[in-house]
Amino acid sequence: MANDFNSHTFYNKLKEDRQLVGVKCTACGHLSPEPRPMCPECHGFDMEWHQFSGKATLSTFTCISVVPVLMAEKGYGRDNPYCSGIVTLEEGPRISARINGVDGNNPQSIKTGMDVILDFDDLDIEFPSLAFKPA
């Protein structure tokens, strides 16, 4: 993997390799799900790619019924809301993602703290979205 710590490389790994990668500081060990050339903890520049396990827990979520045009074209909207949330990765960092495989019309059935696993959202094959689903 090239050492281009940027969003282009991050999304290529999602799209082509179906992997969730972030970066790890080799100086202090800090993990970040967002690609960045500098460590936010120690401000070092010795970063390397880190592949996350894809296991996480749902920390919080919301169900959204006012949707972007692309999602409306795929059937989402007032009668079929989608869910988005913050998940805590098994390795510790948190990241925002779509939550697939849940009923947006019945948010009471979605539980914070539930185990989720990496999923891939293919609404737009050119620009993949990060998603998780119940384990």
**CATH number of domain containing 95:** 2.40.50
Whether 71 is covered by a domain: the verdict is: yes
Mean pLDDT by groups of 10 residues along the chain of 135 residues: 68 79 95 91 94 97 93 92 97 96 95 95 73 96
Whether 105 is covered by a domain: the verdict is: yes
Whether 2 is covered by a domain: the verdict is: no
Measure the CA–CA gap between 28 and 3, rounded to whole angstroms: 18
Let me know: does 88 contact 59? Beta carbons within 8 Å.
yes
> What pLDDT score does 1 carry?
42
Residues 127 and 106 in one domain: yes
The DSSP element (H or E) to which 46 belongs, if any, is none
Residues 61 and 47 in one domain: no
> What pLDDT score does 125 carry?
66
Q: Tell me the residue range of the domain where 92 lies.
A: 55-134
> What pLDDT score does 2 carry?
46
Q: Indicate the SS3 state at residue 67.
A: coil
- For the chain, what is the domain count? 2
Residues 112 and 69 in one domain: yes
Task: Give pairs for 24-32: CB < 8 Å, separation 24+.
Answer: 24/48, 24/49, 24/50, 31/91, 31/92, 31/93, 32/93
Gyration radius from the chain CA atoms: 16
Residues 97 and 124 in one domain: yes
